[in-house]
Amino acid sequence: MDDETILVNRAPVLTLWAAVVAERAGYGEDEALSLGKAVAGLNAQAKGRTLGIYGPPKGGKGSTPKKVGLGEDYWVQVCGRPVPVKDTEAGVRAVVLDEPIDPGPVRKYLASKFGEALDRVRATMAELAAAFEPEELEEVSYGLYERFRPQIARGEAGWGQKGELKLELLRSLAKRGG
């Protein structure tokens, strides 16, 4: 494997990509890491339910909180997915079960999954994100992810499986503007 190909599973790729997309939308790094982790977690839950790994969500349909003011729960869109958030003293944080996602563990998670390639991958993703205006990026970001994400086996066999993330593919998408 060369420096242009990283062996990694999809969850950290989506976490990092969603964080880069959130930063391009104007969120700070810590806010973006919190949002990125939530996007990947929500995506994994949905996929796990589809595969029968997880049961239906608690609270059932219609349990989405209403959009309200500061200090309360509201929703933002990241990579085409609505993410529940809360304004905290440290800034916007995605929430899971009403608990804000701390960016510190997300940073460690990404470092453990990408290793020495993290800065290189982040910079390449940032180049791709910069090829789009923020509003346009929000519309196309998940479709871009589907084009560059690591290829894995279909169904339950692919759950947690590593695949190749090809940085040259991300660069080519940036050059073409998607």
pLDDT confidence of residue 97: 80
Q: Does 156 map to a domain?
A: yes
Q: Does 110 map to a domain?
A: yes
Distance CA 140, CA 118 (A): 23
Q: What's the domain count of the chain?
A: 1
Which span out of 27-41, 85-99, 161-175 was modeled with the highest average pLDDT? 27-41
In the predicted structure, residue 169 carries a pLDDT above the cut 80: yes
Q: How confident is the model at residue 173 (pLDDT cuts 50, 70, 90)?
A: very high
In the predicted structure, residue 58 carries a pLDDT above the cut 70: no
- Confidence (pTM): 0.82
Average pLDDT over residues 105-118: 97
Structural domain of residue 135, as residue ranges? 5-54+102-176
Q: Does 86 map to a domain?
A: no
In the predicted structure, residue 71 carries a pLDDT above the cut 90: no
Contact criterion met (CB below 8 Å) for 12 and 113: yes
Q: Does 118 map to a domain?
A: yes
- 73 pairs with which residues across the strands? 86
Q: Report the chain's C-alpha Rg in angstroms.
A: 16
* Local structure of 59: helix, strand or coil: coil
Q: Does 43 map to a domain?
A: yes
Q: Does 113 map to a domain?
A: yes
pLDDT confidence of residue 52: 47
